[in-house]
Amino acid sequence: MGKIISFANQKGGVGKTTSAVNIAASLGVLGYNTLLVDLDPQGNATSGVGVAKKGLKNTIKDVLMGDCKAKDAIIQTEFEKLSLIPANMSLAGTEFDLLQGEHPEPWAIMKKALETIKADYDYIIVDCPPSLGMLTMNSLSASDGVVVPMQCEFYALEGLSQLMITISKIKTHYNTGLTVTGILLTMYTNRLLLTQQVKNELKKHYAGKLFETHISRGVKLSEAPGFGLPVYYHDKKGKGSNEYLAVANELATRI
């Protein structure tokens, strides 16, 4: 049975989608059958693996609203062992629709949908929106683990505390099997004093949760989404590729 992992952080611009896309692709490279689920209305994970957001037959919105089954929304990407359930801006109003619908457990819709395909994959990676609304709640309620990508800055520390409280509440009330798989430091610059200060604070409170590998800033990593490519397929021997492969390897040992 596959593992569902949410990539979540309510703060935008922290490398969440970049990490979800590249870790999903790296898991595929490592031989794991992987499904990437784009749950962000911006649809950046969709375009990040070379799938056009216009003209999609089925999206994650259709799955959540019961208009199609999860298996009918899956697209095979051109990348090794990597499939996708896409998203586009049509997802933007879905949080309201879920709350206003007649479903008795609106937070559990995604869980029930993914259970039908969970056995087909080693890993299902979900790119959550940068918020703690009903979409993220659905993903966390369906997940076995959470990866929290974050930058080394003090505002990020404040946001992490809020996210941990939310995860704890969902674990208590909706998903007792939910765990924090790891905290991934992104846009990492080792020479900055602030980076070291934030890293030390994280070690105090979340020592066992930090991934050993950090994701450095890099031109190739920033370029890759513009080509619709995970960084491994854009710059196979580059630093970004090696770092994400290392994180994917570590992830596979954690969950």
pLDDT band at 85 (very low <50, low <70, confident <90, very high): very high
Is 0.85 topped by the overall pTM?
Answer: yes
| pLDDT greater than 80 at residue 101 | no
Average pLDDT score, the chain:
93
Per-residue pLDDT tens digits for 228-243: 999 999 999 999 999 9
Lowest mean pLDDT among 68-82, 104-118, 189-203: 189-203
Per-residue pLDDT tens digits for 104-121: 899 999 999 999 999 999
d(CA 196, CA 69): 46
Instruction: Give every CB contact of residue 144 below 8 A, 6+ residues apart in sequence.
Output: 3, 4, 5, 177, 178, 179, 255
d(CA 58, CA 16): 24
Q: Which amino acid is at 95?
A: E
Q: Which has the higher per-residue pLDDT, 205 or 224?
A: 224
- Indicate the SS3 state at residue 169: helix
Spatial CA neighbour of 181 closest among 140, 144, 137, 146? 146
Instruction: Give every CB contact of residue 211 below 8 A, 6+ residues apart in sequence.
Output: 182, 183, 184, 185, 247, 250, 251
- Indicate the SS3 state at residue 163: helix
> What is the mean predicted confidence (pLDDT) over 21-46?
98
Pick the CATH number of 3-254 from 3.40.50.300, 2.60.40.10, 3.30.1300.10, 3.40.47.10: 3.40.50.300
Contact 56, 47 (CB under 8 A): no
Q: Which has the higher per-residue pLDDT, 176 or 201?
A: 176
Per-residue pLDDT tens digits for 131-164: 989 999 999 999 999 999 998 777 777 788 889 9
